[in-house]
Amino acid sequence: MKFLTILKQSVKAIMSNKVRSFLTVLGIIIGIGSVIGLMSLGAGVKASISEQINSLGSTNLTITSGVTAYSKGSYMSSDDASKAQQNSSAMLGSVETLTQNDLTELTKISKDLVENVAGYVSSPVIFKVNDEEQRQTLIGVSSEYFALYDLKLASGNGLTVSDSKNIVLGSQLATDTFGDISAIGQKISIMEIEFTVVGVLEAQEESNFSNPNLQAYISDADAFKIFDSKNYNGIVAKATSEKTVDSAKAEIETVLLRSHKIDDKDLADFTVTSSKDLLSTIDTVMSMLTSFLAGIAAISLLVGGIGIMNIMLVSVTERTREIGLRKALGAKTSDILIQFMTEAVVLTIIGGVLGMTFGYTIGIVAGKFLDFSAVITIDSVLLAVGISSFIGIVFGIYPAARAARLNPIDALRYE
């Protein structure tokens, strides 16, 4: 009952001067709002990217040519990356190191670990249709590629190992190229070679990583001729389940190291990446970025806390006679201390709640412009309440202690 009485008195004292109270907590509102806004945006970005990565297949393993400074879900040390760069036959994107023999060797991995393996080679090319030219992405794929990425046909047929000069179009590419006319049987000239459209894919969900609806597919044998290459840009393997992803990754690395006659894993001229690796790296980067920005925003919390301490000191001065009267009537020093501490904490919690609302609003508005949804987590809510309470206690101690130490006789004489 005593605490409730003190709480009511604290709220009454705060509400007696609404404008000053609002201006007092404005720094808290801005600080908490900035922190919550950044955290919600960071969580929203992470969720959006995670969804897009998972849409590529949570059990898919991507093998790319060359080496990168990326390894095991984090970045290699500069020494390891330098060592790999100096000793490897290629850096990522410079030379294609994945051969047709690599694909053959990978298909021999136990089906208990890897279900499907497919190679691809891609490049932008000029399509020529009825004397009109357009630049599109052409992908040469092995026979398992469509099944691995679950690309279904809307009409026509897919590609087979024996296919030659046949092409499959994404849904939007077929519409953009041939309009309302059926694309099946139409001719497309690529690098002076005429291809026949044998299939059109169903509309696929777009992502920032790729848009199958705007891509064209031919057999890898045809692609090697067009691109004048014998190697793949990359190979994709599908693990049997999420539980076997790590084991499948290890087995793929072992097979490729043996195929490339490389003894030291650090000198590998290929990189095997899983969705888990990408998500782990994204999580690390986003956490670092969010923490850095939140640290900057926290400066306004410090300013807000100092503002609260100043206003509480003013309040102590204004209410000196009230304090003296209460002490004369029997109030203990601890009662006065708790009274002003409670006022400071209530004031900052109000600022925290308003700041949380402000921050969430920032997240929603920014998310609309950036085309993703802000995410408020229970951690951010607890953080807002915790920080605001902490600030109230820390910056409310001195004013409360000063009020509690007032001599009742001197306080009653104060003018």
**Alpha carbon distance 262, 268 (integer Å):** 7
pLDDT tens for 127-176 read 888 888 888 889 999 888 988 888 889 998 888 766 688 999 999 999 98
Per-residue pLDDT, averaged over 357-382, amounts to: 75
Per-residue pLDDT, averaged over 383-391, amounts to: 74
Q: Supply 106's token pair.
A: 């990978």
**Alpha carbon distance 391, 355 (integer Å):** 14
pLDDT band per the 50, 70, 90 thresholds, residue 80: very low
Helix (H, G, I), strand (E, B) or coil at 129: strand
Query: Helix, strand, coil: what percent of the chain each, to 5?
Result: 55, 20, 25
Report yes or no: 268 and 262 within 8 Å, Cβ to Cβ: yes
Report yes or no: 238 and 142 within 8 Å, Cβ to Cβ: no
Which amino acid, residue 106?
L
Highest mean pLDDT among 9-13, 238-242, 272-276: 238-242
Using DSSP bridges, classify how beta strands 166-169 and 193-201 pair: parallel, antiparallel or unpaired.
parallel
Which amino acid, residue 145?
Y
With 0-12 / 13-18 / 19 or more C-beta atoms within 10 angstroms meaning exposed / middle / buried, residue 364 is middle
Which residues fall within 8 angstroms of residue 131, CB to CB, at 6 or more apart? none
pLDDT tens for 291-302 read 776 677 667 677
| Element at 82 (helix H, strand E) | helix 78-87
Looking at residue 53, its pLDDT comes to: 66
Whether the model clears a pTM of 0.75, i.e. scores above it, the answer is no
Looking at residue 255, its pLDDT comes to: 92
Question: Which residue has tokens 């782990």?
Answer: 280
- Polymer length of the chain: 415
pLDDT tens for 190-244 read 888 899 999 999 988 776 557 888 899 999 989 998 888 888 989 999 888 888 8
239 forms beta bridges with 114
pLDDT at 274 > cutoff 60: yes
**Alpha carbon distance 23, 20 (integer Å):** 5
**Alpha carbon distance 215, 41 (integer Å):** 32
Looking at residue 168, its pLDDT comes to: 93
For residue 205, which phi and psi values (nearest 5 degrees)?
-70, 130
Q: Is the dihedral of CA 338, 344, 349, 350 positive or negative?
A: positive
**Alpha carbon distance 151, 201 (integer Å):** 7
Looking at residue 93, its pLDDT comes to: 41
Mean pLDDT of the chain: 78
